[in-house]
Amino acid sequence: MSDISKVRNIGISAHIDSGKTTLSERILFYTGKIHKIEEVRGKSGVGATMDSMDLEREKGITIQSAATYCTWGDFEINLIDTPGHVDFTVEVERALRVLDGAVLVLCGVAGVQSQSITVDRQMKRYNVPRLAFVNKIDRSGSNPDRVAEQLREKLHHRPVVMTYPMGLEDKFAGLIDLLHMKAVYFDGDNGEDMRREDIPAEYLEEAKKRRHAMIEALSDFDDIIAEKFLIEEEVTAEELIPVIRRETINLKITPLYCGSAMKNKGVQILLDAVGMFLPSPQDVKNEGLDQSQNEASIELIPERTKPFVGLAFKLEDGRFGQLTYMRIYQGGVKKGDTLINMSNGKRVKVPRLVRMHADEMHDVDEVGPGQIIAMFGIDCASGDTFTDGNLSVTMTSMFVADPVIELAVSPKEKAGQVNFSKALNRFTKEDPTFRVYRDEESGETIIKGMGELHLEIYIERIKREYNCEVNVGRPKVAFRETITANSNFNYTHKKQTGGSGQFARVAGLLEPLPSDAVETYEFVDDIVGGAIPREYIPACDKGFREAVTEGSLIGQPVVGVRATINDGAEHPVDSSEMAFKVASIAAFREAYLKAKPVILEPIMKLEVSAPEEFQGVAIGQINQRRGVIVGATMDAAYVVVEAEVPLSEMFGYSTDLRSVTQGKGEFSMEFLRYSQVPKSVQDEMVKAYQQKRSEGR
């Protein structure tokens, strides 16, 4: 069993295209896990180790978080590389939920970007201590000092600069390690030979100044360092390391490293820092909810002798069935053990335990606390807690955002229906932000997700992994109809055929319900003196209910209507329930057109955030989409615009927003209310509906 104090569970998170996967590839190479470096968009077409899905290699983006493990010195590192794209945000959420520490990668040129702010918010949500790594120092325009300033201003961190480059852009030769006051060079074809030398004379003055600033920042957290700083006595690395470690874990400081993963410089120093400064499972407080004590909080201790508690945080349907990724919080598990799923009380046997290396599996017989492993043949959902039955504990699941976009999908061929259903079932189980439902109004299968790219990737996966071609429709917006004025009706239904005929007369009033009414339809019986016999009243209600399912304007359901009947007539022989139902339907349709009917559309509450230089174009786009701006606020050089926009105008918005904001704009939207469409839009919709009906005849 490994020494738990030497275990590090870390994630690599950042804005899209900051170099997370490239950095992960270098970490695997330097720790001896792989023997050849592959690039994300390499000419070999092999792709980076952690991007094991064909789609990831083609698009050069990470779609699923990938897990691996490696050793550096006497440290054992469990590493998760997460996607940077906002559409796959749940992958970052679930990784951060189970990790003890993280590396926040920032681009040396672009600095803190919109998705850096999002992942930082996610890290704060789960109290994850982090190191910052400023990547791409070799790029033209890179400036690590500016990035440190943005960390302070935009993310409110206290960065402590630990390394800084000797030369920038194409002159980047190596790093100065301010902790040990040494110049570090990276020799060999892939920078694997790390050489420490005395600091060159031209950098010595700057290095002293920067180390002075580092000690000054740390003196706020430790009296001994503060005292030595004041009397200008030398502070050793051995004195600084425990203070940096303690305050990093307390989320008070963020040690800042720099380098270029692509040019193989600076990665080993970052690995040293992971061991020195990020927490082991013992340094992090994890809590569960004791079900036997009314969900009282209970601390989980990462010790082998304690009862087993683990959290399934990610599911994957692989070649060999469902693979369940699990973080073990206390106790241990062996092959063949029986575990209990706390969400449904089912007992499951562990047939196979593996440790993942991207898409490869390495079998293990037993695993102790603090580890991240995968199990086969365990049926569960993402976020389920497992115990060995000695404890009744559940763990809080991760935060799952609501989907913002939907598409109608169907298999192109009847034969593909089985595979199509299999794919949708699998994806909904794997990804909590991917939802599927059947629209009863249109009979279509609707998929919902976090953005157009999110759904596009799943449609592509149905084609590739399930060999099923898919029809993708423009999603149908759920419009409604209502009335805006009162209208009287008096309708007589007469039908005389051989034998008994049909007769019924209904009279009354159609009126709009108040806007705050809970029900969408109300029926009032005001009949006095038996004008309509009691046994026929429910038939009238039934007729009106049937009539409101389809309005006359565009065939959508009618809401916000009160139908009152106050008069009528019957025939002793020809009246029947059926006759009164038919009379009510016809009376409603006649009165409906005189009651000034209108079309209602769903209005969404939209929140857009983009760097302030894009404020004008972002607002212009919302105005073009019939949006109403409710407010705009500035936050850390970002503008956040709140607006109300019709859902029908929002398709294609994520692509448009990203194109006008250089990929830096983000948005979230949720349903707000139904509202009347403008007269010009209504006229067009009615005309299109009438034309469709006449063509359908």
Predicted confidence (pLDDT) per residue in 204-230, tens digit: 999 999 999 999 999 999 899 899 989
Pairing of strands 7-14, 75-81: parallel
pLDDT tens readout for residues 105-133: 888 877 777 667 777 887 888 888 999 99
CA atoms of 521 and 39, how far apart (whole Å): 61
Hey, which residues does 506 pair with through a beta bridge? 491, 568
CA atoms of 66 and 356, how far apart (whole Å): 9
Confidence bin at 669 (pLDDT 50/70/90): low
DSSP state of 624: H
CA atoms of 355 and 372, how far apart (whole Å): 8
**pLDDT beyond 80 at 633:** no
What is the secondary structure of 259-296 as a DSSP string? Answer: -BTTTTBSHHHHHHHHHHHSPPGGGS-EEEEEGGGTTE
pLDDT of 49 reads 47
pLDDT of 60 reads 47
407 neighbors 455 (Cβ within 8 angstroms): yes
469 neighbors 412 (Cβ within 8 angstroms): yes
**pLDDT beyond 50 at 46:** no
Q: Which long-range contacts (CB under 8 A, 24 or more apart) does 490-497 make?
A: 490/567, 490/587, 491/583, 491/586, 491/587, 491/590, 492/569, 492/583, 493/579, 493/582, 493/583, 493/586, 495/579
**pLDDT beyond 70 at 16:** no
- Give the H/E segment covering residue 510: strand 502-512
527 neighbors 566 (Cβ within 8 angstroms): yes
Q: What six digits make up the tokens of 468?
A: 């099923």
**pLDDT beyond 70 at 43:** no
CA atoms of 70 and 81, how far apart (whole Å): 13
Q: Is 55 left (phi over 0), alpha (psi -120 to 50) or beta?
A: alpha
**pLDDT beyond 60 at 293:** yes
Pairing of strands 487-495, 502-512: antiparallel
Q: What six digits make up the tokens of 558?
A: 């009618």
**pLDDT beyond 90 at 247:** yes
pLDDT of 205 reads 92
Q: What six digits make up the tokens of 574?
A: 């020809």
pLDDT of 442 reads 65
pLDDT tens readout for residues 251-268: 999 999 999 888 888 899
User: CA 149, 153, 154: angle at the middle one, nearest 5?
Assistant: 110
Q: In what order do the strands lie in the sheet with 487-495?
A: 487-495, 502-512, 561-569, 521-525
Overall residue count recorded for the chain in this entry: 697
pLDDT of 88 reads 62
CA atoms of 61 and 101, how far apart (whole Å): 23
**pLDDT beyond 70 at 359:** no
List, in sequence order, the alpha helices (H) in 489-640. 537-547, 577-594, 615-624
Which of 178, 186, 183 has its CA nearest to residue 161?
178
The overall pTM is greater than 0.85: no
DSSP state of 672: E
pLDDT of 45 reads 38
689 neighbors 554 (Cβ within 8 angstroms): yes
CA atoms of 670 and 527, how far apart (whole Å): 44
- Give the H/E segment covering residue 407: strand 405-411
Residue 596, SS3 per DSSP:
coil
**pLDDT beyond 60 at 84:** no
**pLDDT beyond 60 at 138:** yes
pLDDT of 47 reads 42
218 neighbors 244 (Cβ within 8 angstroms): yes
CA atoms of 148 and 167, how far apart (whole Å): 17
Select the more confidently predicted residue: 122 or 538. Answer: 538
**Would you call 233 exposed, middle or buried from its count of C-beta atoms within 10 A (0-12, 13-18, 19+)?**
exposed
**pLDDT beyond 80 at 19:** no
CA atoms of 358 and 561, how far apart (whole Å): 58
**668-688 mean pLDDT:** 83
Which of 558, 554, 594, 552 has its CA nearest to residue 687?
554
562 neighbors 442 (Cβ within 8 angstroms): no
**pLDDT beyond 60 at 673:** yes
